[in-house]
Structure 1
Amino acid sequence: MADRNLTDDEATAKVARAATLFTPWALRAAVTLRIPDLIAEGVTDVGELARRAGAEPNALRRLIRYLVLLEVLRTPAADRVELGELGAVLRRGHAAGLASALDQAEPFARRGDEAISGLPEAVRTGKSVWAGFSGRPFWDDLAADPALDQSFAAAMAAHAAELGPVLATRHDWSSARRVVDVGGGTGHVLAAVLAAHRHLTGTLVDLPDTVSQAGPVLVAAGVADRVDVVGGSFFDPLPDGADVCVLANILHDWPDDDAVAILRRCASALTGTGRVVVVERVLDDVPVAPAEPGQFVASQRDLAMLLLLDAGERTAAEFRALGAAAGLKLTEIVPLVPGQGLFTVTFEVR
């Protein structure tokens, strides 16, 4: 049954609540001040919480009031506070990874939040706004700012560490022998796949400075003796003999021409029966509301790619077209992490 039509006042209240910037910044303030972590550690007195967080007590009480209304915190008594129903997901170390994405002490989180204010301009032009406020395009900015680059790399490594075990268990690796992780960072995804499937060997490919840091990850997973580490660009020829080329969260960073070029490099590296496994968010062809949580996340990331990189998330039809242009046939799209909108998109040589 369709929802009843909202009254004008109800619609105004709903839009106003969605539009306010106080909610996202209240959450960022809480994370940056470590409020959820301190409460979880047993700091429930507001005065002590202010001292430990380095906050002014009365100002903190005002923030706590708003966070209570958001169901992030609860106040069981005057000047007492505890985590609310939504508070635990803001703790550092939670699997959702929200804390690192919101923490304004992280250079990449802070810079990314600044970029969002450029969304009107990005929509007008269809172009990234990153260079407009940083003075350099995204990748050049990372290369020129070590703190920003380290923060970005840490965020990507944390995501890969969560993704790797899921990909290892939810994708069928039985027919593969050699896996090439293309743009695989410091090796978290490949390490998880090889640790779960002892018959596999692997090759990790990424820029030299990145893969030079992969050793501890591969050793900790017990797979270093089964991995070749290759420093290089995925726009250059890749090591051949792959049964599977993995592209995890790579193609959404690049416009179509570059994405096709990357897929062609993967196709050239495959054995005759090999496949390319792309891990990406897949947008619905036609958006509907209320949306599944994964589609909401995918749409947000799609806007982020516009702001940062002149790139974006794609629909199934768009992936199919990319594959065809690269000489590949899309054979299946399988949900991987539905709540995050992540799928495996599998291609085979045509």
Structure 2
Amino acid sequence: MSVNESITPEPILQLGLGFMASKTLLSAVELNIFTVLARGGRDRASIAAEVGLHPRSSADFLDALVSLGLLNRDDEGIYRNSPTAEIFLDRAKPSYVGGILEMANARLFGFWDNLTDALRTGTQQNEVTHTGAPFFATLSQDPVAWRNFLNGMNGVSTPLAGALASDFDWSGRQHLVDLGGALGAVPAAVLQSHPEMTGTVLELPPVRPVFEEFVARHGLSDRLSFHGGDFFSDPLPPADVYVMGQILHDWNLEQRQFLLRKAYDALPDGGTLIVYDAMIDDDRRHNTYGFMVSLNMLIDTEGGSEYTVADATEWLAEAGFSKVHSRPLIGGYTAIYATK
């Protein structure tokens, strides 16, 4: 068989071994590399001493981060964060998105080792696999894992929050409620740019202590409140805007339709429901990130998955919403705005 020199195995090998680069980043976040370097450039020995790197590993590890575009190293051997890492991977900055990476490192990385089992059985492969108890009830019993999970959800929501705050026309809106909004990244971003508004996060009661810490850090304790409850069984707090971000993908079709109808019934005329997720493109070919998140839902939930924009549009119309339109956000996410 003749060999076509323009076709090589390199893309396949890079993809198949991509977990190596992924774990290098996750370990760097765990070791606080980027937060240490946010305080100023350091040489290899100084970094190794502060974060606890072994002499055998330090050179290759730090230079691997250089090759991945996460660190820069000058001719004197001084390491500094890349501009992107400086903004998004320094724990001390409000723009920090490493919470989702911390959660991926502590939870998801190991569970993805069981993807083949999930594909064969259709059953989730996380903490619930071993306990049989509901996912959130199981996780909330471990304070460290619970905080890690909530910070992870906040990390992935932070850049989306800024996008939503600027993309949607909030004029004339007074109060928004984020349904299952974790620590409140979305309402925090909206309230900071719209001082006339107030907000509420409806979440499970164990979220409250971590939520209150987050809100206090952002100076919003007087405008952003916590409402403990379950959006399946409890009444929804009144609002003229509801947000369901990364919520529908946790549940099966019947549960999604129930939540959308419940939001429709609770909204006043002219009220809006904002749904955002890593929705799959309608042609089901292009949003690789959406497919990866959907496989993660297979591993991490009982019946969840991502869905197409067309699917969500249909469900919203069935729930009663008359004005429904979608807009791409950032990073493979889509927002759908549905008005009653």
Q: TM-score, normalised by structure 1?
A: 0.80
Shift of 1:116: 1.0
2:313 aligned with 1:320:
yes
Give, in angstroms, the shift of residue 334 of structure 1.
1.7
Q: Distance in 2 between matches of 1:188 and 1:78?
A: 40
- Which SS does the other structure have where 2:139 is aligned? helix
Residue 122 of structure 1 pairs with residue 118 of structure 2: yes
Q: Deviations over 1:9-61 (max 9, x none)?
A: 85312211221132222222333333344444445432332222211112222
* Aligned residues of 2:317 and 2:324 also touching (Cα < 8 A): no
Determine if the alignment matches structure 1 residue 344 to structure 2 residue 339.
no
Letter in 2 for 1:331: V
Alpha-carbon distance, 1:308 to partner: 0.5
Identical amino acids, percent of aligned pairs: 26
Q: Are 1:92 and 1:100, in contact at CA under 8 Å, matched by a contact in 2?
A: no
Residue equivalent to 1:46: 44
| Aligned counterparts, 1:192-341, within 5 A | 192-211=189-208, 214-215=211-212, 229-239=226-236, 241-288=238-285, 295-309=287-301, 310-329=303-322, 331-336=324-329, 338=330, 340-341=331-332
3-state SS in 1 of match to 2:242: strand
Letter in 2 for 1:308: D
Match of 1:99 in 2: 98
- Structure 2 residues not aligned, in runs of 5+: none
Alpha-carbon shift at residue 315 of structure 1 (Å): 0.8
Distance 1:160 1:13 in 2: 33
AA aligned opposite 2:313: R
Q: Partners of 1:242 and 1:68 in 2: how far apart? A: 47
Cα deviation for residue 306 of structure 1 reads 1.7
Structure that is richer in strand per residue: 1
Is the Cα–Cα contact under 8 Å of residues 282 and 343 in structure 1 kept in the other structure?
A: yes
Please state how far the C-alpha of 1:222 moved relative to its aligned partner.
6.2
> Relative to 1, partners in 2 of residues 1:178 and 1:27: Cα closer, same or farther, differing over 3 Å?
closer
User: Partner residue of 1:113?
Assistant: 109
Q: Partner of 2:169: helix, strand, or coil?
A: coil
CA distance 1:193–1:38, shift in 2 (3 Å): closer
Give SS of 1:114's match: helix
The number of aligned residues is 334
Q: Structure 1's 240 and 268: CA in aligned 2 closer, same or farther, altered over 3 A?
A: farther
Describe the SS at the equivalent of 2:232: coil
3-state SS of the aligned residue for 2:270? strand
Q: What displacement does 1:319 show?
A: 0.4
CA distance in 1, matches of 2:117, 2:182: 31
Query: Shift of the alpha carbon at 1:65?
Result: 4.5
Q: In 2, distance between residues paired with 1:250 and 1:138?
A: 14
Q: Determine the C-alpha separation between the residues in 2 that align with 1:219 and 1:53.
A: 29
SS at match of 1:127: coil
**1:148 aligned to which of 141, 145, 149:** 145
- Write the letter of the residue equivalent to 1:254: W
Within 2, Cα distance between the matches of 1:72 and 1:250? Answer: 31
Q: Specify the SS of the correspondent of 1:11.
A: coil
Structure 2 residue identity aligned to 1:149? W
Change (3 A) 1:192 1:102: closer
Quick one: distance in 2 between partners of 1:276 and 1:169?
Answer: 16
Alignment root-mean-square deviation, CA: 3.3
The alignment's TM-score, normalised by the length of structure 2, stands at: 0.82
Taking structure 1 as reference, are residues 53 and 227 closer, same or farther at Cα in structure 2, changes over 3 Å only?
closer
In 2 relative to 1, CA 139–330 (structure 1 residues): closer, same or farther, beyond 3 Å? farther
Q: Distance in 2 between matches of 1:202 and 1:90?
A: 25
Distance 1:307 1:178 in 2: 35
Name the aligned partner's letter for residue 347 of structure 1: A
How far 1:156 moved relative to its partner?
Answer: 2.2
| Equivalent in the alignment of 1:57 | 55
CA positional deviation for 1:266 = 0.8
Residues 182 and 39 of structure 1, relative CA distance in 2, 3 Å threshold:
closer
**Structure 1, gaps ≥5 residues long:** 1-5
Letter in structure 1 aligned against 2:119:
V
Aligned counterparts of 2:310 and 2:29: Cα–Cα separation in 1: 39
SS at the partner of 1:50? helix
Describe the shift of the 1:72–1:197 C-alpha distance in structure 2 as closer, same or farther (beyond 3 A). closer
Checking the alignment, whether the CA contact within 8 Å between 1:236 and 1:265 is kept in structure 2 is no
Asked whether the equivalents of residues 176 and 199 of structure 2 are also in contact (C-alpha less than 8 Å), the reply is yes
